[in-house]
Structure 1
Amino acid sequence: MAKKFRFMLVACLSMIVLAGCSGDKKETATKKEDASDKIVENGILKVATSGTLYPTSFHDQETSELTGYEVEVVKELAKRLDLEVNFEEMGIDGMFSAVNSGQVDMAANDIDITESRKEKFDFSTPHKYSYGSMIVREDDLSGIHKMEDLKGKKSAGGATTIYMQISEGFGAEPIIYDNVTNDQYLMDVGNGRTDVVLNDFYLQSMAVKAFPDLGVKIHPDLFYNPTSAGLVIKKGNTNLLEKVNDTLAEMEKDGTLKELSEKFFGGADVSVEPDVEITADVKVD
């Protein structure tokens, strides 16, 4: 009888240990799936941005402080989530790798939402809407009068942007830059080192206004591809995504997005879809 009792006791203890291990595994799996718990525990939101993309992410000339439309959106978002935000500055290619590896929690740099990107990353609801434009030389429009005239032109930009995809799709020669400031892009078009910069209309409008003596302008007739931009988040961080989307909805409802947009985009409200005639709709990945 004693032997039987000891056997039953060992069996019960084994079941308890196994149950405990099973619970630990479930708890570990839950924690693994919900990486946003670490953000809450540490109280820090790590965000990748360029610091060179005026007026959405740049350094104020007087204070050297990192600011801009998207930077301030993230700062306000973090404040409402009771988090401190740490920005890490890098090029656009590095941002995707940093999000994927967990080096940062999200990327904020006027990143357009595309179907292929949505397969690899989660995006917040859009906080900016726009469409494509191109910077050309002021005197001759760089010889570009229709999209097909991009063939053979030297197109400046980042290697993996949708705008470089579009220009290469029309036969332009890519001239790749890595996280340089807008004045460098514009200066090189003006002096003939390159011919054109394809990019977001609102960003380019502000860049041209900021550097009026470089001999460039936005092409007056060619507008293409309506776009929407969101914050990039690693797939699986669903709690973080939900909190970000809920907070962005609050900021839209109370007018914060509109207020920040008008501050950085010369009175324009980029938080709503623009009403503009699109001359080309080019499919990109």
Structure 2
Amino acid sequence: MKRIFFRKKGPIVAGLVMLSLLSACGNEDDTASEETTTAWDEIQEEGSLTVATSGTLFPTSYREEGSDELTGFEVEVVRQLGERLELEIEFTELGFDEMLTSVQTGQVDLAANDIEITEDRAENFIFSTPFKYSYGTAIVRSEDLSGIETLEDLEGKKAAGASTSVYMETAREYGAEEVVYDNATNETYLRDVAIGRTDVILNDYYLQTLAIAAFPELDITIHPNLKYSPSEVGVVMNKDNEELAENVNIAIEEMLEDGTIAEISAEFFNGADATEQVDIEE
């Protein structure tokens, strides 16, 4: 009886051990497979990139009057980027401050809205290769330049803009009173300066020049003497999405080399090539 018992038990035990080993191997394979799946893999599988932009920042991201079609310099750069990566582009319209939060939390894959590359932001996000270079200017009232001659004269003035923009940081640095809007249109910002509700808008040279040209009836101008803070702009990605950034950079560098972005710049910046680096005396 004992011999029969042990002969039966041996194969059963061996079989259980083999099943256990096979099961363990299967779990290891599954775990390994899960661990090698990246954000870039998921993006490719879905076939689309979700992109945060404002839809209210002329000429970077806006709608032509009477049109529902989103367009603008960075909107079209991103569309071309999608073509080169063979991905559909899905835009999500957000306020400036909310864009960076959405990138950080993974709600969107990247943000494109004239977002400058700074040391602080580079610690928390990945920026693409820069594709726009500019510098800061100030929109003021034409009649008296809003009482501003130098940046030091910003103290006590009402500066309009997005709270986390580098331009509002400059305004705060010089003692201006911060006036923040919730994803307002350019017309709202500009009209408030013209009627004295605010005093100044600090922003990018190209954006300011075209914004003023769009509303010639307003008594505002670009300050003739204020040029500061040379800037670089790229699209913004989550710090962990290194593979996405690598592929985005390959496409952007191709677009810079073959002149695609320069052509888009000329279309939206009145013939100017914003891909050329600038040198100003601060």
Q: Which residue of 2 aligns with 1:205?
A: 209
Q: Which residue of 1 aligns with 2:31?
A: 25
Distance 1:38 1:185 in 2: 39
Structure 1 residue matching 2:279: 3-state secondary structure: coil
1:206 is displaced (CA, Å) by 0.7
Which of 14, 18, 21 does residue 12 from structure 1 map onto? 18
Which of 234, 237, 254 does residue 233 from structure 1 map onto? 237
Distance 1:236 1:58 in 2: 29
Distance 2:91 2:231 in 1: 25
1:4 is displaced (CA, Å) by 3.7
After superposition, the C-alpha distances for 1:115-141 in whole angstroms (9 at most, x for unaligned) are 111121111111111111111111111
Q: Which residue of 1 aligns with 2:274?
A: 270
Which of 174, 179, 183 does residue 187 from structure 2 map onto? 183
Q: Which residue of 2 aligns with 1:123?
A: 127
Aligned residues: 276
Distance 1:276 1:181 in 2: 29
After superposition, the C-alpha distances for 1:51-91 in whole angstroms (9 at most, x for unaligned) are 00000101011433110000000011101111111111110
After superposition, the C-alpha distances for 1:222-242 in whole angstroms (9 at most, x for unaligned) are 111111111111122122111
Distance 1:194 1:166 in 2: 16
- The percent of aligned pairs where both chains have the same amino acid is 51
Structure 2 residue matching 1:80: 3-state secondary structure: helix
Return 5+ residue gaps in structure 2 as ranges: 1-6
- With 58-67 and 154-163 compared, the bigger mean Cα shift is at 58-67
What is the RMSD of the two structures over their aligned residues, measured on CA atoms? 1.3
Distance 1:128 1:93 in 2: 21
CA radius of gyration, larger in? 2
1:15 is displaced (CA, Å) by 2.0
Q: Which residue of 1 aligns with 2:64?
A: 60
| 1:214 maps to 2:218 | yes
Q: Which residue of 1 aligns with 2:83?
A: 79
| 1:196 maps to 2:200 | yes
Q: Which residue of 1 aligns with 2:111?
A: 107
Q: Which residue of 2 aligns with 1:282?
A: none
1:160 is displaced (CA, Å) by 1.0
| 1:97 maps to 2:101 | yes
Structure 2 length-normalised TM: 0.94
Structure 2 residue matching 1:197: 3-state secondary structure: strand
Q: Which residue of 1 aligns with 2:53?
A: 49
Residue identity matched to 1:124:
S
Distance 1:163 1:63 in 2: 30
Distance 1:15 1:203 in 2: 64
| 1:146 maps to 2:150 | yes
Contact 2:228–2:280 (CA<8 Å) still a contact in 1?
no
After superposition, the C-alpha distances for 1:4-29 in whole angstroms (9 at most, x for unaligned) are 44333322322221122122112212
1:42 is displaced (CA, Å) by 1.6
- With 104-113 and 91-100 compared, the bigger mean Cα shift is at 91-100
Distance 1:152 1:236 in 2: 41
Distance 1:276 1:123 in 2: 23
Distance 2:279 2:190 in 1: 27
Distance 2:259 2:80 in 1: 12
Structure 1 length-normalised TM: 0.93
Distance 1:20 1:122 in 2: 36
After superposition, the C-alpha distances for 1:146-191 in whole angstroms (9 at most, x for unaligned) are 1110000000001111111110111000011111111111111111
1:2 is displaced (CA, Å) by 4.8
Distance 1:275 1:237 in 2: 32
